[in-house]
Chains A and B, each alone.
Chain A
């Protein structure tokens, strides 16, 4: 799973994000559901061949692909990275607790499916700020009987809500893998995404892991970026791409697992990978 929100290529984010975060934090309203405005999660679903998308999403995704034809590969490669990263964390490292922030619309091979295929008792908390995306997660991302899944309706900026609610399922005295795939681009610099990530990683113990993928401003030509900005103006989310150095800073104080910070398709690739060149950086780091 993992899908949607992580639209790498699709990114964006928005003012709406903030409004929705405030609403869900207060428990009052919900992210206004508007199928006539393109939504990153549903665009991602469309690009990956899903059916949970509306006309506005398809139109925006097609417009995006027109200015950035590599976005389809990036979306696919980002999702494939999720599978390999979670497989590495559950298998090689032996992590049994996952905090998946920016869940997106379910596809196959979602975090809990990958982790529970390796360790059935794995526990996964899915976090998304869109109540409808989260409703899909509750309905479709259901745990094996040996493990457990839970769902937190919160904006990434609301770290207090995320951590307190995740603590109902996860044991924060034991290592936790935090995954934030194709989601941090939705947080503008003015909201200090590095501080947000640091706050979450401060709450987990030594031996915990952080996995991030993020659209790379230094991987996309300027003209393409301008085109993407035009598309993202029609979306609920807007995008803040970051360069390699800015992405690396999310891992301050963490030790990067090999091969370090690379494009998503380069991270421990599998033999049957598709050929292509993505425009997203990724890394997996361990907390000392």
Chain B
């Protein structure tokens, strides 16, 4: 989870109309605030007073219709008796994410709204689990590999735009090296390793990079060999984001061609957790995965 400066209110205008489409993030945080309020036996009216607002402001916050001021959330947590530092930090971090002018806003010309939401969630996650069938995980891609994929997806884009898209992806990878990085546990299909995106040289460098990333202490990489036959992920690629705060639900992210699906209902999420759990049990162990990738690199 991101660290949060003590009660840093973002200098930001249009407080009730955040420009970043962080719907899921706001709904997550709003739902959590509602549960905490109810558990504390505080009415929406009382909560409204605590943040110099009204019952309807509380209602809008709890249903994720508005962004959150860090100060409001902090005050509410105090009223709800939430004193645990870890819990407060996690929720305040989400509050900040929900309305920040995030680093990626300068890429807004090339970023669809649905993907900005993902970046917000990704930045707030404590654990990222994924299954990849098509490409190497975006956080693990080399610049050349990312460029090759981007060119495939945006055949008519001018070179300047391609470079901006690649730059965005590289920038996003700073998540791996920030202090207190999320744990990333990625299961990938062998086909991903065998598909020489960008040509053999680019792919060899990508495989080498993958080995380096897999050696990072917070990263776990497991390959499902093709020889394994049919496996649990008939669903295709997906990502499960988990947040440090105990009561926040996991979120499943499934990217499609022109949009994305977010699932945060427990019954839905558990279907995907089940698949990724099963896959992690079937896949090669992290140590065997490293040997396997070395072998594929030699054959590429």
Contacts and interface: CB of A to CB of B under 8 A. Distances in A.
A46 to B, nearest CB: 11
Interface string A107-144: 00000000000000000000000011011101110100
Interface residues of A, number: 19
Contacts of B270: 35, 54-55
Contacts of B286: 138-139
Most chain A beta-carbon contacts within 10 A, residue among B183, B250, B266, B274: B274
Nearest to B287: A138
B246 A135 contact: no
B173 interface: no
Interface string B257-279: 00000000011001001100110
B217 interface: yes
B277 A49 contact: no
B282 A139 contact: no
Contact of A49 (B217, B246, B280, B282): B246
A35 B278 CA distance: 10
Contacts of A145: 217
A54 B278 CA distance: 13
B246 A33 contact: no
B277 A51 contact: no
B105 interface: no
B242 interface: yes
B123 interface: no
Contacts of A132: 277-278, 280-281
B220 interface: yes
Nearest to A49: B246
B253 interface: no
B10 interface: no
Interface in B208-267: 217, 220, 222, 242, 246, 250, 266-267
A161 interface: no
Contacts of B118: none
Contacts of B285: 135, 138, 151
Contacts of A52: 273
A136 B266 CA distance: 20
B232 to A, nearest CB: 9
Nearest to B249: A51
B68 interface: no
Interface of A: 30, 33, 35, 49, 51-52, 54-55, 131-132, 134-136, 138-140, 142, 145, 151
8 contacts: A51-B250, A132-B277, A135-B277, A135-B280, A135-B285, A138-B286, A139-B185, A142-B220
Closest CB pairs A-B (n = 4): A139-B220, A132-B281, A135-B280, A131-B281
Interface of B: 183, 185, 217, 220, 222, 242, 246, 250, 266-267, 270, 273-274, 277-278, 280-283, 285-286
Given A55-B267, A131-B282, 5 more contacts: A33-B277, A35-B277, A135-B283, A139-B220, A142-B217
